[in-house]
Amino acid sequence: MYIVYGLKNCEYCKLAVEELRIRGCSFYYFSMDSDTSPDGSSLNDIKSRYEWPTVPIVLSCSSDGERIVGGYVDLVDHLETKDES
């Protein structure tokens, strides 16, 4: 499962969501246009928390917890590596 933090007008955010849809991955998308995430964090808070300066911010979630995948290009690399395993 993945979490994507993004902005409505961000092309890379749209591409990340589309990539996850095409590959049939489950994910939650949080639009940060409203200035806060469901837990009340701002986009700047999330960028600081994951030490990622741009959007999208893609997280991989499992029973072991969550880890940052990165942005769109990192997501594609991650998914391709996962498919090769």
Ranges 4-8, 12-16, 67-71, 80-84: which has the least confidence: 80-84
Please determine, for residue 83, whether its predicted confidence score (pLDDT) is greater than 80: no
What's the whole-model pTM score? 0.90
Q: Residue 57 in contact with residue 17, Cβ under 8 Å?
A: no
pLDDT in tens, 30-78: 999 876 677 888 999 999 999 999 999 999 999 999 999 999 999 999 9
**Complete DSSP assignment for the chain:** -EEEEE-TT-HHHHHHHHHHHHTT--EEEEEGGGS--TTS--HHHHHHHHT--SS-EEEEEETTEEEEEESHHHHHHHHHHHHH-
